[in-house]
Structure formats: C-alpha cells, structure tokens
Amino acid sequence: NIEKLSDLEKLAVLGRGNSGTVYKVRHKRSSSIFALKTLRFDRNSTIIRQQAGREAEILRRVDSPYVVQCHAVFDSEDDLYFAMEHMERGSLHDVLLVHRILPEDVISGVARCILNGLQYLHEKQIVHGDIKPSNLLINAEGVVKIADFGVSRVVVGKHDSYETYMGTCAYMSPERIDPERWDGNVDHGFAGDVWSLGVVVLECLAGHYPLIGCGEKPDWAALVCAICFGERLQMPKSASSRIQSFVRRCLEKDWKKRGTVGELLDHPFVTQISFESRHGYLLVWIQAVKEFRLDNKMENLRANGSDDVN
C-alpha cells in the first residue's frame, strides 16, 4: 500500500511523454518497484486538470491482466502522480526502435494481448482512444498491456463533441480525423481502437509507419489524406494471408463494416499460434531492448541529478 508520495524513491527515468516524465521508483518500506508517471500542470489550466481527473477515475476502475494497473494517484498543487505497475521490458515503441520488424508469431501474441485488453475496456464502456506503440507496455513475462488513459474517456452518451476526441493522429481512424464522417455515434470510439490496433500490427510487420511510404516525412495534410483516402493497403509481399486478412478487418475505412474486438479474437491470425510460443518469442526478441533502455535512461537520470520524488 502506497500511502504518500514520500514513500517512493526515484531510481531511474523510464521515459518522457507529451505530458510528463515516467520514473522507476522503489517503495521504501516494501522495496516493491513501481512506475511513477508525473503530469505537470500550469496552475491555471483547468481543462488539463479535468482531463487528468478523468484519467485517474478511469484507472481506478480498471483491473485486468492486459491493462497496466494503477496502484495510487497523488495530487499536489502543480502535479498529478500515478503510481503504476512497473513494466520491466518497456514499450512496443522501444522494441520497434531496436528490431524494426517483428516476426508474425510475435505480432500475433502482441495483437492477442491488445485485443484481450480492449475486450475488457470495451465491456466496461471505456474507449481507450490512444492505442499506439508507446502506450503498449511489456512485462518480464512478455505480456503486453495497454497503458495510458491520457485521452481515453468513459463513453457518457451522444453529447461528446468531435473536439473531445484527441489523440495521436497517426493512429487515428478516418472517422475521428474527418468530421464529415462523424455522426456522434458512441460506437465510433470502440471501432477507432480497432483501427489503431490495425495500424500497430501493420507497423510491426512493415517496419515503419505503414500508411505512408517508408522514409517519407509527411506533413499533417499528407497524413490525414493517407488515413482517410489512402488506396488499398500496401502489405509486405512475404505477409501470410492470415495477417493480411486480420489487418484488412482492422483497417476497414467504414467503421460500421470494421471488425469488432469480439470478431477479431476469433480470427485465425490470433487463434492459430500457441500461447507458449508467442510469449517465448517475444521475450527473445526484446532481450536486446532491456540493455538499450537501462544504458540510456540511467544516463538520463544522472544528467538530471534528482533522487527522491519530493
């Protein structure tokens, strides 16, 4: 039980996001390790604070082996802190930085974990809204869990405006990007998470962000164009028909025709590879990442010269 922030001692920087820094911390009494996400506020920024409050509320309601657990939330004048489950092997983003391309067996395992997490969230009427490689974290057993509810929100009805949907454009579905396709239907949100999963799976297969040619530096207009009007998907020639069909079901532009989480959990791409082989593969693939992260991030912390959280 973490009672107060000063119970935690900083050990290293795990990463930095748009909203703040994530530290590896040790609970002084129990010696348990956690990840501490800090969100810094402008004192006057009530909107961000409200958003963070929502995030905390959602996190407290969540309890799934495929969603990163939040153990405590602390509020100070300028910051909000989330003590989370520490995910030893970092994010899928880190894995892709090192390996670029993953074998289909590994991708299948990753996709299955994400689908399990999404199934849990969608059953609770929670749209994640920001599925992308840096929000998919891996633990010591090679299990992938969904993290970061920065922009996810509880579906409360038809009153949410298009503007309340924010997230990372690259992984956003056509109906979220293009207001013309927006009809206020709450099921959009669930279908949007499936689209994002499709982009992630294709990225792991192709070795680069898949909706725009490799090496191109897209501007926002090009990105929106690729998502909303891009022609048939470019799949690597070596891709199996299973993974191709899976990706097509996720990246169906018309959200009403897109696969649902329930349908995709029965797809041969995720059902026909044994559980053991998937997790085993993932661990082998990410081994190199561990060393990479430790080197970089300890360096990072030393440069900043901080020790305790307070």
- Binding residues for ATP are 37
Contact indicator for 25, 10 with CB cutoff of 8 Å = yes
What's the DSSP call for residue 91? Answer: B
**Any contact of residue 148 with ligand ATP (CB under 6 A)?**
yes
Are the beta carbons of 127 and 189 closer than 8 angstroms?
Answer: yes
- Shortest distance in whole angstroms from residue 243 CB to ligand ATP: 25
71 binds ligand ATP (CB under 6 A): no
* Nearer to Mg ion among residue 172 and residue 226 (C-beta): 172
Q: Which does 94 bind (CB under 5 to 8 A by kind): Mg ion, ligand ATP, none?
A: ligand ATP
Q: Active-site residue among 94, 130, 148, 193?
A: 130
Size of the chain in residues: 310
Q: Which of residues 120-159 bind Mg ion (CB under 5 A)?
A: 135, 148
By the 10 Å C-beta count (0-12 exposed, 13-18 middle, 19+ buried), 31 is classed as: exposed
Q: Which of 55, 66, 94, 171 binds ligand ATP (CB under 6 A)?
A: 94
Question: In the bound complex, which residue of the shown chain has the CB atom lying closest to ligand ATP?
Answer: 17
Should residue 68 be labelled a site residue for ligand ATP when binding is judged by CB under 6 A? yes
| From 72, 73, 84, 191, residue interacting with ligand ATP (rule: CB under 6 A) | 84
CA angle 302, 304, 306 (to 5 degrees): 85
Sort residue 184 into left (φ over 0), alpha (ψ -120 to 50) or beta. Answer: left
Residue 10 interacting entry, from Mg ion, ligand ATP, none, C-beta within 5 to 8 Å by type: none
**Separation between Cα atoms, residue 150 and residue 19, nearest integer Å:** 9
Give every CB contact of residue 297 below 8 A, 6+ residues apart in sequence. Answer: 12, 13, 14, 15
Alpha-carbon distances, residue 283 vs 119, 140, 288 (angstroms): 24, 8, 10
For this structure, is 7 an active site residue? no
* For ligand ATP, the closer CB: 87 or 202: 87
Residue 51 contacts Mg ion per CB under 5 A: no
Q: Which residues have CB under 8 Å from 36's CB, separation 6+?
A: 8, 10, 22, 23, 24, 25, 81, 82, 83, 84, 309
Return the SS3 of 188. Answer: helix
Q: Is 86 in the site for ligand ATP (CB under 6 A)?
A: yes
**x/- binding map, residues 127-146, to ligand ATP, per CB under 6 A?**
-------xx-x---------
Residues that bind ligand ATP (CB under 6 A): 14-19, 22, 35, 37, 68, 84-87, 90-91, 93-94, 134-135, 137, 147-148, 150
Q: Where in the sequence numbering do the catalytic residues fall?
A: 130
Contacts with Mg ion, residue ranges (CB under 5 A): 17, 135, 148
